[in-house]
Structure 1
């Protein structure tokens, strides 16, 4: 049985073209990317040891080994950080026999007050799994009518919306990029167990669009967020994320990226609005 770390290394190895690392073309092969022998040689480890890591038979490679593999794969800083995180949770994994508990959903009063100070801006508080815990009226303006806040439960969830609601593919102009981001962010959840709480629900209804992205470990590039509002407004937003590490939550502030978006947001704000809601 594989591990998150082994899956990541194997996925990165399959995605690297040998010529990009100055290696000779060895002709046709059954699987794409870098040969295990080439990666092992570049990292200074044996093929047998690399195989054990990829297959999950070695769950605790040393820091020097991780650094050597990162160098051999030419990982960027974000990918290196993700690999270290996967090594940490892989080494500490243990089977669970009972259903994991859901993540924390209460928001501290001081965080809610911070959100109120951002009114009428566009801001939201989420946990690592995508639960929308509180939002400004500005956030309701740009998401109203999209189905995101129409969840039957008390906890609208961005990850669930992206993968299970057809309207999300219309709302997010770059849906594939957003899907990659939401799947990747599950690995940043407060614990393996909390991530399993959501993935157990999503996997059966979201299908390969979700499970394939989750297991690829693609580190997303977070550029300008492009939205196509059903009211006909097209928005381009920049995102600033304020990490609340002690709460396993984050405040995300959305800023118009151009004058056209400023005007579009103003038009949406003139529509009937709700008020700040905290879900706990």
Structure 2
């Protein structure tokens, strides 16, 4: 997946205006954002060393250097965590196999029982690749007519970038696209993420690849949906991490009374039982 640490630092430099960090305006620059020499000075390292990091020629900067770069870029907590994560996987030298194996789609029986307790609410078990591994009838009802569950197996990341209906369904499509790409960096392994990107990049195009190398850190705000049935929905997202399985249990809750009423009108009690896609 390229030179993630250097790409992230460069992307953040390009997005910063020197004035926002209290630096003087030095007039016209050949490239946008914060100059490399300014960041090096703020971080207390040499320009040559910063260049090596950005170009992927130095793959093991110390924790102190990583923290100094975070300070120099004025990163918030989520971005700092991501910078440290990228530094770690860069130092580990994550080599990618020619055709990495797809991660397991199995969901533990106890997790499935937990999911049943949430019926008929809107909930699903996913992983950071976007695979939808199991879901409640409420989730299936919400997805009805959107195309989200049409693929076999369904994958939210693939849907967001390749199905035109996703751009209507997700009111804030750009924010959702950023979230899905960001999660790839925190997938069960970099090899698994590369399995998906190898399949997705050729069909998703620059909307996907530009985000992959820009590392946008999402805010995970209220989920806004424009359902093809005519409903405008606002949903809160609660996520329970399942670290032993590298999976997440995601529960969607109405954020207001109008959404609660719309969900109630739209949902029809299922004839079958909980559907697992494992």
Q: Is the 8 A contact 2:137 2:270 kept in 1?
A: no
Q: Which residue does 1:243 correspond to in 2? A: 241
Q: Is the 8 A contact 1:123 1:136 kept in 2?
A: yes
TM-score, normalization by structure 2: 0.97
User: In structure 2, what is the Cα distance between the partners aligned to 1:184 and 1:274?
Assistant: 35
How much has 1:93 moved relative to structure 2? 2.4
Q: Is the 8 A contact 1:5 1:83 kept in 2?
A: yes
User: In structure 2, what is the Cα distance between the partners aligned to 1:100 and 1:2?
Assistant: 16
Q: Which residue does 1:262 correspond to in 2? A: 260
- Secondary structure, in 3 states, of the residue corresponding to 1:188? coil
Question: Closer, same or farther in 2 for the Cα pair 1:273/1:39, shift >3 Å?
Answer: farther
Aligned residues: 278
How much has 1:198 moved relative to structure 2? 0.2
Q: Which residue does 2:164 correspond to in 1? A: 166
User: In structure 2, what is the Cα distance between the partners aligned to 1:122 and 1:97?
Assistant: 37
Q: Which residue does 2:190 correspond to in 1? A: 192
TM-score, normalization by structure 1: 0.97
User: In structure 2, what is the Cα distance between the partners aligned to 1:273 and 1:225?
Assistant: 28
Query: 2:3 matched to 1:3?
Result: yes
Q: Which residue does 2:51 correspond to in 1? A: 51
User: In structure 2, what is the Cα distance between the partners aligned to 1:188 and 1:103?
Assistant: 13
Query: 2:31 matched to 1:31?
Result: yes
- Secondary structure, in 3 states, of the residue corresponding to 1:231? coil
Moved more, 141-150 or 266-275: 266-275
Query: How do 1:129-278 and structure 2 match up within 5 A?
Result: 129-151=129-151, 153=152, 155-270=153-268, 275-278=273-276
User: In structure 1, what is the Cα distance between the partners aligned to 2:269 and 2:117?
Assistant: 21
User: In structure 2, what is the Cα distance between the partners aligned to 1:273 and 1:207?
Assistant: 40
How much has 1:95 moved relative to structure 2? 3.5
Q: Is the 8 A contact 2:185 2:193 kept in 1?
A: yes
Query: What is the CA deviation profile of residues 183-219 of structure 1, one whole-angstrom value per residue up to 9, with x for unaligned ones?
Result: 1110110111000000000000000000011110010
Question: Closer, same or farther in 2 for the Cα pair 1:137/1:84, shift >3 Å?
Answer: same
C-alpha RMSD of matched pairs (Å): 1.3
How much has 1:246 moved relative to structure 2? 1.1
User: In structure 2, what is the Cα distance between the partners aligned to 1:215 and 1:179?
Assistant: 13
- Secondary structure, in 3 states, of the residue corresponding to 1:246? coil
Q: Which residue does 2:125 correspond to in 1? A: 125
Q: Is the 8 A contact 1:140 1:274 kept in 2?
A: no
Query: 2:7 matched to 1:20?
Result: no
Query: What is the CA deviation profile of residues 233-278 of structure 1, one whole-angstrom value per residue up to 9, with x for unaligned ones?
Result: 1110000000011111000000000000000000111376764211
